[in-house]
Amino acid sequence: MQNSPTQIISLIILASLVFLLMPIFLLMYIRSYNRHKKNHIAEKQNMQQKFDSEILKTHIEVQEQTMQTIATELHDNIGQLLSLTTLTLNSIKIPENEKVTEKVNNSLSLVNKSIKEIRELAKILHGEQIVESGIGNAIEQEINWLKRVGGYKLSINNDLLDIKISSPDKDLIILRLLQEIINNIIKHAQATSIQIDTCLKNDTLLLTVKENGVGFDYDEAKNKKSGMGLSSVQKRIEMIKGKIDVNSTIEKGTSIFIEIPYP
């Protein structure tokens, strides 16, 4: 019985320690749980980003393969048919009739022009062949196509023609970016003038496209699934660690500024 006060005191001290330590252990557990939860969320987001990136990469690869197939079909099949048409027209023996001769000559001229246009279109679609000569030349060919479309006052400053470095993977994406932007201008902008500037500065490729069209609400457009192609442009830029800045004013036009680490 003499030890009972000592035992009681010991029990009180032990209980006090338990009650004191329990919140500490509980706080440590909560902190550990929150840390693991944050790591799990971050890992999940990282996995989602990688998954989205792989999906986009696969989509672009399929798109490129489709374009190359179309380019080959245009060049090899339709191009050959038009060439055969030219040979057939040339082989026709007609009497010296001025009107008939003029019509045949006009037909030949149109067919030859069609062959040339199809070959140029095939080159544009077959992006890998174009970028082999450098991104500057690839952009130049795209601009030449835009000139042939007509209807626009063009202001071009392509400083990438003289660069000696290249990045085949990025070059193809940059070319597709420009094609997407030009396509959006033709389809939606109702512009009369287009300005395109390209240059390489401090290991950064700069691409600027300005037009004087109807303009649009950028924040609203980029949140839409259609997005006037903006979603596709944004994703392609993210793939190559680039940045895009879009300034658009209703009835005053749109300016697009793109920065891409290069090569």
* Reported pTM: 0.57
Domain ends where: 68, 95, 125?
A: 125
Same domain, 77 and 162: no
Percentage of the chain modeled with pLDDT above 70: 67
Question: In this predicted structure, what is the pLDDT of residue 19?
Answer: 73
Torsion angle (degrees, nearest 10) of CA 69, 74, 175, 159: 150
Evaluate if residue 168 carries a pLDDT over 50.
Answer: yes
CA-based nearest residue to 172, from 133, 121, 221, 115? 133
Q: Is the pLDDT of residue 226 over 80?
A: no
**How many C-alpha atoms does 95 have within 13 Å on its Cβ side?**
1
Grade residue 2 by pLDDT with cuts at 50, 70 and 90.
very low
Is residue 239 very low, low, confident or very high in pLDDT (cuts 50, 70, 90)? Answer: confident
Tell whether 121 and 235 lie within a shared domain.
no
Say if residue 254's pLDDT is above 60: yes
- Structural domain boundaries enclosing 218: 134-263
CA end-to-end span of the chain, whole Å?
87
Beta strands in 170-242 (DSSP E): 193-201, 204-211
Q: Do 92 and 198 belong to one domain?
A: no
Question: Are 116 and 138 within one domain?
Answer: no
Whether residues 8 and 119 share a domain: the answer is: yes
**Structure-model confidence comparison of residues 194 and 102, the more confident one:** 194
Q: Are residues 107 and 158 in the same domain?
A: no
**Residue 15 shares a structural domain with residue 70:** yes
The number of distinct structural domains making up the chain is 2
Q: Looking at residue 239, which CATH number applies to its domain?
A: 3.30.565.10
Task: Identify which has the larger pLDDT, 174 or 148.
Answer: 174
- What band does 146 get if pLDDT is binned at 50, 70 and 90? confident
Instruction: State the average pLDDT over residues 10-14.
Output: 75
Give the pLDDT of residue 1: 45
pLDDT at 37 over 50: yes
Give yes or no: residues 144 and 262 share one domain: yes
In terms of domains, do 103 and 163 share one?
A: no
11-25, 83-97, 157-171, 196-210, range with greatest mean pLDDT = 196-210
Query: Which helix (H) or strand (E) covers residue 259, if one does?
Result: strand 253-261
pLDDT at 3 over 60: no
Per-residue pLDDT of 180-217, as tens digits, reads: 888 888 888 889 999 999 999 999 999 999 999 998 88
Domain endpoint, select from 83, 99, 125: 125
Q: What are 99's two structure tokens?
A: 């009107």
For residues 96 and 218, state if they share a domain: no
Region 103-115: what's the mean pLDDT? 71
Contact present, 104 and 89 (Cβ < 8 Å): yes
The last residue of one of the domains, among 72, 94, 125, is: 125
**Mean pLDDT (the chain, rounded):** 76
pLDDT for position 259: 94
